Chains A and B, each alone.
Chain A
């Protein structure tokens, strides 16, 4: 299957700082990328959907000014957690797909964010 690389795999930051997470599709052009958040022992919660060159579409309840998503190219999307607080500590996972809605989605290895 296709490869999606997420970086960093883990990060610790201080409250009030911003953290950027990168998601890259290594061997295909990702027309759509998704960002998920996962709490311990829970399933994935979709935060936003982004298409290359367009503004991201955020799910209800997700603060777009806090979770900035950029999808500037067909192989790279970034999630920036701005002014991070301890409650933002979580596991963030990106997913990418090429083409239409019914194509297969491939996932990154996730980023463990800890805000202290």
Chain B
């Protein structure tokens, strides 16, 4: 059974810092991995999608990497801003499930202080 873990559970940094959020998964047989952002009381916004054949994806100040063999992904946020404060969730689609359901980690709650 696929399990997804995110470390740390919470992170507080001063504005301007570069930071890394970690995600690990137990079964490397995945279709893809997605990183999401969730603001309090809101739905999820998709940030980056990495297919299993890819190593990384970039969007603006965000860079996500995927090492499928070791079951790890990182989300790198450059020059953090207070507006980046949110909960970041990673999720994988395991290949054993043909329905394409996402298995989520518990999230990392990020706070960027001005």
State the A residues within 8 Å of B (CB). 1, 6, 32, 34, 42-44, 46, 49, 51, 57, 91, 93, 95, 97, 100-110, 112
Contacts and interface: CB of A to CB of B under 8 A. Distances in A.
A93 to B, nearest CB: 5
6 contacts: A1-B46, A51-B99, A100-B100, A104-B32, A105-B102, A110-B43
A91 B40 CA distance: 11
A43 B88 CA distance: 10
B100 A103 contact: yes
B41 A110 contact: yes
Given A1-B46, A43-B105, A46-B101, A102 B41 contact: no
Contact of B34 (A49, A101, A104): A104
A43 B107 contact: yes
Interface of B: 31-32, 34, 36, 41-46, 49, 51-52, 89, 93, 95, 97-107
B51 A102 contact: yes
A57 B32 CA distance: 22
The SS class assigned to the A binding surface is: strand
A32 B43 CA distance: 18
Contacts of B41: 91, 110, 112
B99 A42 contact: no
B111 to A, nearest CB: 14
A106 B93 contact: no
B104 A6 contact: no
Given A104-B49, A106-B46, A49 B31 contact: no
Contacts of B93: 101-102
Contacts of A97: 100
A109 B40 CA distance: 11
